Amino acid sequence: MASRTLAWLVLFGLLVALALRLHSCVRATPEDTLAREQATYQRVRSLILDRYIKEVDERGLFYGAMEGMVSRLDKHSRFLPPELYERLKTDTTGQFEGVGIEWNPDESLGLVVLTPLQGTPAFRGGVYPGDKILAVDGVRTEGMNREECGRRIRGPVGTKVRLTLLHEGTSRPVDVTLERSVNEIKSVPVAEMLGPDYVPPAAGSPAGEPAAKVGYVQVAHFQPKTAADMDAALARLEKEGLQALVLDLRQNPGGLLKAAEDVAELFLKDGVIVSVIARDTAGAEGPTRITYATGEKTHPFYPLAVLVDGESASASEVVAGALEDRGRAVLVGSKTYGKFSVQDVFEVPLNNWGESALKLTVARYKTPTSPCIDGQGIVPDYVVQFAPEQQRGLLQSRLARHVQDNDPRAAPGAQAPKANGGEAPAPFVDLQLRKAVEVLLQQVKAARK
């Protein structure tokens, strides 16, 4: 009898212990969960550092852990180490600290300047397209990659850097000393009237007058000053007699949502521009913020065509979708990228490693009359697909234009010096732009009847 009682007591004790264990698991606090996760991370990290066959960089391990965690969310959320965070700030603010040098994209040429940027210390200080950078502050660049050379050239605003350059077509190096500053990147790099290459002369016009004055504006990014720059560009073209406009958003990856809303308002006098759908406290689809045009900055109505392609994303799609849905513009080109989500950027300080950030998807958006088509993109009204050679032609023509516009030696309208001794490329015929102009001229003609 005693043994049976003892057995029951032991069994009861085991059941109580199991119940307590289960209770503790069920009632585990967030702090307990976090502590277990941190302990696991520390264990794995220690094993890698102590036992992996090669020596491992601790910073790289940390970045990898953060990037792996965020990659489980969606393709637009990212952990940004300091260097990538700096690039993001440059893209979104349109400002950067340095001397204003862009590298030639051809890696085989080595440390060769593509162009200085207008208004920067490099532009004012005697740096030219095609220059080879031989040394930075006396340190020779032989064997140095672009990243290391760039780090040596960058530095605090107000400090100076000495570059040893070999100008193209010369054999004697020169030294230029530049003072680092805060510089701006143009988000509206081109705003002009189109010439006879795209706008034919009016029928029966002996003086070769164009069929209509068609303006062309390219937006490269959506940054804080984009709407103001666009507003000024439109005002200038309107003074020149603008009758129709091509807005080029091709290869524009987006930028600030507020900038896109402000640009759309330049063309819409009322109604919805975009709806942003956030998350509620329970994690489900929550409140919607709707942005309406106020009509305070709207420009006069004239036929409008928007050029888009597979690289037109995010803020570009906000503008293109709003103008198309509201019947204000026709879209020409190829289907857009399809990024209908909104990301916020949260700074993550890393002490002596610098400032990193978390770029996190926090909302989705939809155009005025369409559902959210994230991952699908917008199909233009007039589809004009580019073959690979045409896409390369567009990139090359834009690059050549960029170099010419930023070359300190080139007078306005002059032929830019040939970069790196190469032959001038054959003139590129932009079939998407040509189609956009064709549609606009039809609209102008119809309005005159």
Which residues are the active-site residues?
314, 325, 339
Residue reference for tokens 């993109």: 377
Distance (Å, rounded) from C-alpha 425 to C-alpha 437? 24
Contact 334, 307 (CB under 8 A): no
How far is the C-alpha of 234 from the C-alpha of 216, rounded, in Å?
A: 10
Map residue 21 onto helix, strand or coil: helix
The torsion defined by the Cα of 133, 138, 142 and 143, in degrees rounded to 10, comes to -110
Q: For residue 108, what are its two tokens?
A: 């085989």
End-to-end alpha carbon distance in the chain: 112
Note the helical H segments in 292-383: 315-325
Rounded CA-CA distance 27/433 in Å is: 64
**Distance separating alpha carbons of residues 372 and 196, to the nearest angstrom:** 40
Element (H, E) at 394: helix 388-406
Cβ 56 vs Cβ 49: under 8 Å: yes
**Tokens found for residue 54:** 């090669």
Q: Which of 339, 340, 341, 321 is nearest to 331 (CA)?
A: 321
**Contact 262/223 with Cβ under 8 angstroms?**
no
CB 201 within 8 A of CB 106: no
Asked whether 90 and 369 are in contact (CB, 8 A), the reply is no
Residue with tokens 């003072």: 179
**Strand positions, DSSP E, 154-263:** 160-166, 174-179, 181-184, 190-193, 214-218, 244-248
Q: Are 227 and 195 in contact (CB under 8 A)?
A: no
Q: Give the three-class secondary structure for 429.
A: coil
